[in-house]
Amino acid sequence: MILIVSVVMLLLEAGRSSSSSASGLENQIFQYIDLHQNEFIKILKEWVAVESDSVQPRLTQEVTRMMEIAAARLQALGATVELAQLGTSQLPDGQSLLLPPLILAELGKDPQKPTVCFYGHLDVQPAKKEDGWETDPYTLTESDGNLYGRGASDNKGPVLAWINAVETFKALKLDMPVNFKFIIEGLEEVGSPGLEKLIKDKNQLFFSDVDYIVISDNLWLSNRKPALTYGTRGSICFFVEVQGGERDLHSGTFGGIIHEPITDLIALLDSLVDISGRILIPGIYDDVSILTEEEKKLYESVEFDVEGHKNISGVKKFLYDNKEEILMNMWRYPSLSIHGIEGAFHEPGIKTVIPIRVIGKFSIRLVPHMNISIVEHQVKQYLEDIFSKRSSPNKLMVSVPLSAVPWLADINNTLYTAAKGAIKTVFGQDPDMIRDGSTIPIARMFQNITKKSVMMFPIGDADAGEHSQNEKISRSNYFQGTKLFATFFLEIAKLHEQLQEASTMKTTN
């Protein structure tokens, strides 16, 4: 009882103190984490030692073993764990393979507390020492303050940081500030087969009492400044097929007397973007959300090394010079990229051929609030108009083999406010509010199906080397990340309570 009272008092203190300095409770937690660094590293070492590579079917057993190890760890914390089966997959040789299970776990069911669901994955990309690693990829090795090993950052380190944070509350016999749910998969690196269906199947049961979903599977934009990710772009891919006759022709025999399909196609592709990168399809920008002053300010404060990024790209000049324009064009404006032409001669040397059927491939990165079916219609209409002006007898066919919607979170909501507060406490600074220009379906998938608020909450710095040689998480990121998650639990509990109180007052008024 005395303990509970003191915790309540500490919580009250946490509520009063400015969010930039740690409360007594937080300091107690931080101290515990600092004192147990070796244990937290030891378990990361054990997890990294499991070659849970989901890309190579022969290692499926190892992925399954990894899931079982994690399940046992969660059970030891008192969680109820289900290893959900995802069925089998067909191998190229016709054999079927049992897919590794997915972990669904829950800890705590107090209706007074918010329920936070954490998503992570424990499978990894392939890695061999011969690929150019300086150390064995499956032996976690510390050097210069970094912990090197496959999965250290993507995604075993962040999953463990979360679990370590929960464990800290338990070890200190503190009241858990929130109820926890975990959804941890072993097939992320191969596109998460079965995940969407599982989320749909479990939506009524597992997700019904979830209030917030947190994903920690991406990186900061810089090496020093923490970040929160609040958006990803979608994409829509197009095939533009131009067909003349039935077979390729000789340019000596037919060159000069026919409408060549590839000439039509290049004219079509050339009509898509101008020299400044602007997409020329009429109406394409109509639904793009308007840039507000508030949003504009977000880009100004983001720490982003333009020269470094240019260096990585290897090009001499970007379309834009200033940081804000570059960030906005990577994240919040659509872009169009031409990827290639199927059916065109591309081997070294010369072949005097007239390809008779060519398929141009391009895609548009979509942003809020572009609508896939409207974009599809606009693109088709435009290409048909351009094509019809050429009076070509060839046949044009435009199709959309793949599309995915963008994702955007409200950075003013409880999740983001709590995470910002936690970052301020642990790092003493405000986070970079960032988006990702690529398409990461997971956040959108959770949001669309469960209708809960979703946040991407990275703890690793930009040069973690995910998917690459010498992947690492810095020692400091691993422990600061653990402290960050623990602080976040307290923050979200506090905000959630305030929210409940406010809504109770509203209903009683």
Using CB under 6 A, list all residues that contact ligand NAG.
Answer: 200, 294, 307-308, 311, 371, 373-374, 405, 412, 448-449
The verdict on whether residue 217 carries a ligand-binding annotation is: yes
Is residue 218 at the binding interface for Zn ion, with CB under 5 A as the rule?
A: no
Is residue 185 at the binding interface for Zn ion, with CB under 5 A as the rule?
A: no
Q: If contact means CB under 5 to 8 A according to the sort of partner, which of Zn ion, ligand NAG, none does residue 217 touch?
A: Zn ion
Residue type, 80: T
Is residue 471 at the binding interface for Zn ion, with CB under 5 A as the rule?
A: no
Question: Which uninterrupted H or E stretch holds 396?
Answer: strand 395-404
Per-residue three-class SS string for 10-57: HHHHHHHCCCCCCCHHHHHHHHHHHHCHHHHHHHHHHHHCCCCECCCH
Instruction: Label residue 475 exposed, middle or buried (CB < 10 Å: 0-12, 13-18, 19+).
Output: middle
The verdict on whether residue 339 carries a ligand-binding annotation is: no
Is 322 or 371 the residue whose CB approaches ligand NAG more closely? 371
The contacts of residue 284 (CB under 8 Å, 6+ apart) are 334, 364, 370, 375, 378, 379
Q: If contact means CB under 5 to 8 A according to the sort of partner, which of ligand NAG, Zn ion, none does residue 381 touch?
A: none
The verdict on whether residue 287 carries a ligand-binding annotation is: no
Q: If contact means CB under 5 to 8 A according to the sort of partner, which of ligand NAG, Zn ion, none does residue 412 touch?
A: ligand NAG
Q: If contact means CB under 5 to 8 A according to the sort of partner, which of Zn ion, ligand NAG, none does residue 473 touch?
A: none
Q: If contact means CB under 5 to 8 A according to the sort of partner, which of ligand NAG, Zn ion, none does residue 264 touch?
A: none
The nearest distance, CB 165 to Zn ion, in angstroms, is 19
Is 146 or 155 the residue whose CB approaches Zn ion more closely? 155
The verdict on whether residue 209 carries a ligand-binding annotation is: no
Distances (CA, A) of 480 to 19, 37, 167, 443: 16, 11, 15, 24
Q: Site size for Zn ion, by CB under 5 A?
A: 3
The nearest distance, CB 318 to ligand NAG, in angstroms, is 13
276-307: burial string, b at 16+ Cβ within 10 Å, e else: eeebebeebeeeeeeeeeeeeebbeebbbeee
Helices (H), 146-233: 156-171, 195-202
Query: Of these, 26, 217, 260, 432, which contacts Zn ion (CB under 5 A)?
Result: 217
Nearest to 231 by CA among 470, 434, 446: 434
Catalytic residues: 123, 188
Give the interface segment with Zn ion, choosing from 32-40, 151-159, 172-180, 256-264 (CB under 5 A): 151-159
The verdict on whether residue 130 carries a ligand-binding annotation is: no
Q: At 352, is the secondary structure helix, strand, or coil?
A: coil
Is residue 115 at the binding interface for Zn ion, with CB under 5 A as the rule?
A: no
Annotated binding-site positions for Mn(2+): 121, 154, 189, 217, 467
